[in-house]
Structure 1
């Protein structure tokens, strides 16, 4: 009578190797998904810790990106609406309750000329929905025509989306334009401005200007990573169970055959 080891492994090399491959892929992908979740949680914790630090004043700069990144900042100045950039294909940060589809729209990037400084700070003012009938029709947004205070969080860029080909900066500097991505350095060269080396993502301040600023937390998607990890681990477990059950059945069949021959 063949031993259990021989029946499960020695005489089932292809099945054993295939099972090990499935188990390795499932466990590896599951661990990777758990790592992604832990990374998001760590980033969110670090961001929260930096936001608890004293609020910076953009007008008291200049500040480097390393000094200001992920810190809260207040800037006083006046917007330059004619140089605004509308970043297309941006989903609403937090979909309405009960909604399963992510509504597409724009991020409004607008330069703020800092009061008392020859420097411009780009501000991500918020999100607005896109006109589904005509994508070239920009949402109605109110922009103050006087110096105001803007509070937000400092980031290196407003986020990127996939773009076919390189970004082309329009030569018309006095016309609002729609872009896929925002290039801070290119905008500085185009306008000839001295700019802050970062952007300010405005936080909700109760102003009714037609923009939404309910930004999604960095931990968004953690539950999804845990669900994916469970699926991958389940696949690995299913591969092991299938290999074991099929091997035991084959072992029993061989045992019956050997018993009949005896």
Structure 2
């Protein structure tokens, strides 16, 4: 047993340390991927539970973010189309069937002046594809010029993407503009509006306005996390097997050389 330990560990310090490092990294990354997948499942369950609570009305507010977050809400008002913000580099929420390539486009953020209230509620109206030939050409979208009733789910923000340069907001606030990210607080200060402290992501799928509102479920990507976890655990196992097999071979070679094998 002492000879085996010596052959596997004592005489192979560098190989042993390297194997332990690979095993630690593989197991750590695998556990992290599993935790991310489980966190998405828990988050989706909490979201579903909150959506089953009574529907709120934005016109009967004011509501805080804590009160309204992830709950269903209705809103009645009129869009301020000239203040629209197009959030760039947003992939299609649910890819086209049979396509493995993410289609890039925009989220359309548009303020809604609430009927009967001196308050604005920002609406994520949906997703539209980008013009691949000219990025500055905005998708053709229909905006009602009358009071509308919409329903959606409350979120703190529409999601963020990596942005270089600190995200400076354009000074041209009287016409639609393209931005990488949406800063609710900054928009309120820039325009001097009284705003709801959250955004409403519209859920109506039947409106023929040029926007897609088939939102991806929060559990989207869980299978990918589990697949990554399997790969990391497999790497750790492979590292252990390589260390063990190479050590046993060295042990057997030493046995032959020393005349221990007959």
Q: Same fold (TM over 0.5)?
A: yes
Q: 2 CA distance for matches of 1:261 and 1:92?
A: 66
CA 77–253 in structure 1, closer or farther in 2 if over 3 Å, else same: same
Q: TM-score, length-normalised on structure 1?
A: 0.97
In 2, the alpha carbon distance for the partners of 1:18 and 1:192 equals: 60
Specify the alignment match of 2:30 in structure 1. Answer: 30
Aligned: 1:68 with 2:68: yes
In structure 1, the partner of 2:40 is 40
> Partner of 1:87: helix, strand, or coil?
strand
Deviation at 1:204, TM superposition (A): 2.3
1:151 Cα deviation from its structure 2 partner: 0.3
Match of 2:208 in 1: 208
1:170 lines up with 2:170 in the alignment: yes
Q: Is the 8 A contact 2:255 2:261 kept in 1?
A: no
Change (3 A) 1:256 1:119: same
Shift of 1:242: 0.5
Q: What runs of 5+ residues in structure 1 fail to find an aligned partner?
A: none
Q: How many residues align?
A: 262
Partner secondary structure for residue 110 of structure 2: strand
- Residues 1:159 and 2:163 are matched in the alignment: no
8 Å CA contact retained: 2:205, 2:214: no
Does the C-alpha gap of structure 1 residues 2 and 69 become closer, same or farther in structure 2, counting only changes over 3 Å?
A: closer
Structure 1 ranges of 4+ moved more than 3 A: none
Quote the Cα distance in structure 2 between the aligned partners of 1:172 and 1:22.
53
CA RMSD of aligned residues (A): 1.5
Counterparts in 2 of 1:117 and 1:250: CA distance versus 1, 3 Å? same
Partner of 1:149: 149
1:73-92 equivalence runs, <5 A:
73-92=73-92
| Residue 193 (structure 2) aligns with | 193
Shift of 1:261: 10
SS at match of 2:258: helix
Q: Deviations over 1:90-142 (max 9, x none)?
A: 11011100011101100000000000100000000000001111111111101
Residue equivalent to 1:97:
97
Task: Provide the rounded CA distance (Å) in 1 between the counterparts of 2:260 and 2:217.
Answer: 67
